[in-house]
Amino acid sequence: MMLHLSRSERRRAMLLAGSVWHAAESLISRVNNSELVKVTQELKNTHMEQLGRLHLKHQTECDLLEDMRTYSQKKATLERDYAQSRCTVSHQPSRGNLENRRTPLHIMF
């Protein structure tokens, strides 16, 4: 989304951004080198912790996806075997007395 600013608003925004930048530069220049090293090391440690957490989350999600894939494959195999068994059973002749079986034709008459 593009903001449409007047010339005076743009000038004010640039001055504000420049003053913020200047304040940051002056703060950095006032910090002695050992403090800067401490802050830098703290940032590196925080960054490494975040990367570690992100890697753990990624690995957990990959493991979950793999488990879901394995589950789906096993479920499909079971369903296929069950359907084949039902098909086999439905095509076998009945072992009971055929005369006592009621078929749709017997029901109609």
Cα–Cα distance, 56 to 36 (Å, whole number):
30
Q: Over the stretch 43-70, which tens digit does the pLDDT of each residue have?
A: 888 999 999 999 999 999 999 999 999 9
DSSP per-residue codes, 17-32: HHHHHHHHHHHHHHS-
- Does pTM surpass 0.75? no
Task: Delimit the domains of the chain by residue range.
Answer: 32-85
Q: Over the stretch 1-59, which tens digit does the pLDDT of each residue have?
A: 455 667 776 666 666 666 666 666 666 666 667 777 788 888 888 999 999 999 999 99
Lowest mean pLDDT, pick from 16-20, 63-67, 76-80, 90-94: 16-20
